[in-house]
Amino acid sequence: MSNKKTNKKFILIFAVLILLGGTYGIYKYVHSLSHETTDDAQIEKNMNPIIPRLTGYITKVYVKDNDFVKKGDTLFTIDNKDYLVKVEDAKAALIASEGNFAASKADIESVSANIAVSDANVQSAGGNIETAKIRLGRATSDFERYNNLYKNHSITKQQFEQALAAKQEAESQLRILQNQQKASAYQKSVIVAKSNVSSKQTEVAAANIKRAQAMLDAAKLNLDYTVVTASIDGQVSKISIQPGQLVQPGQSLFYIINNAEAWVIANFKETQLDKMVIGQKVSIKVDAYPDTDFEGTITSFSPATGARFSLLPPDNATGNFVKTIQRLPVKITLNTDNDAEKIKLLRPGMNVDVDVHLK
């Protein structure tokens, strides 16, 4: 009797296990028809690297490991003595350039005044020449008349000589005035050439002012860069810098994590992608917070498998080929109706389970 009772209990338990296993199997099969799941997924957030823009020795560090910071908060400072000197040097260069520009403008004004005087001299000489020509014409007429009268012995030799002298004096005066006009014109051309040179010098001086101003702006900008501030709100990573440490441009020192925005990168098998499309709803379970459900949406698919982005991508042309199922990174954005405070608790690299609703 005892063996029969034991057999009945065993059969009953076995039947229950078969029923539960079958039920679970059916459930998973039905679930797989409208869902794709994976546990190869992690939380991602923007990790803003803190990179100095110039070379220098750190004077003070204002943050500690894992501190929360606001945009604009000072993170650390770099010794600014050398950069202060460069600012003063750039200021002096700008003042000198402005002085040269002012001197060049004064030269142009002086030359412009000389050109005006030369124009007046040329015009005056032109007027005097016209007067001299009139006098010469009159003296020439008088001489010709006196010459005829002298030939006829109607006037004395003295009168003839006076007419000749008047004619010669008028000719000489005309030549003098013409020479003065040429000299004035030449002087004007020299002054105009000097004016062109002064104009070029002024243009160069103006360009030097712009160059000096640009150098001053660059020096001030570098001085500002000696104070390194947070570019976003977030939480800093481990701080591995100390006062007195030399830093270089482009050197990544630590990170600021943007806790306000998070997404999931899920690595699905290539055989799971057939029915997955952008916009499908995704249920997300975070291992660290099993009691909290998150909702997301597929927003993009990677253009290549994860293996292709590795440092040494696989090369299947070596002759030793073993087919391996590849995984493709899929970006899943957390919906805005999720609890913002819960999202802030998520950390990059946390493991999650994702369940894509295909229908």
Q: Residue 23: what pLDDT? A: 75
Let me know: does 114 contact 191? Beta carbons within 8 Å: yes
Is the pLDDT at 290 greater than 80, yes or no?
A: yes
Report the chain's C-alpha Rg in angstroms. Answer: 49
Topology adopted by domain 81-222: Helix Hairpins (1.10.287)
Residue ranges per structural domain of the chain: 35-45+258-312+319-358, 81-222
Let me know: does 352 contact 41? Beta carbons within 8 Å: yes
Is the pLDDT at 111 greater than 60, yes or no?
A: no
Integer Cα distance of 310 and 78 in angstroms: 36
Per-chain mean pLDDT for the chain: 81
Integer Cα distance of 7 and 2 in angstroms: 9
Architecture of the domain whose range is 35-45+258-312+319-358: Beta Barrel (2.40)
- pLDDT tens, 73-93? 999 999 999 999 999 998 898
- pLDDT tens, 121-161? 666 666 666 776 777 677 677 667 766 776 776 677 777 67
Tokens of 108: 């142009």
Is the pLDDT at 206 greater than 90, yes or no?
A: no
Buried b (16+ CB within 10 A) or exposed e, 10-26: eeeeeeeeeeeeeeeee
Q: Residue 141: what pLDDT? A: 72
Is the pLDDT at 2 greater than 60, yes or no?
A: no
Is the pLDDT at 11 greater than 70, yes or no?
A: yes
- pLDDT tens, 218-264? 999 999 999 999 999 999 999 989 999 999 998 999 999 998 889 99
Within 8 A by CB and 6+ apart from 10, the residues are: none
Integer Cα distance of 141 and 156 in angstroms: 18
- pLDDT tens, 316-333? 766 667 788 889 999 999
Q: Residue 128: what pLDDT? A: 65
Strands 74-78 and 227-229: antiparallel
Place 27 in a pLDDT band, splitting at 50, 70 and 90. low
Local structure of residue 156 (DSSP, 8 states): -
Tokens of 328: 């493709």
Q: Which range scores top for mean pLDDT: 160-169, 176-185, 206-215?
A: 206-215
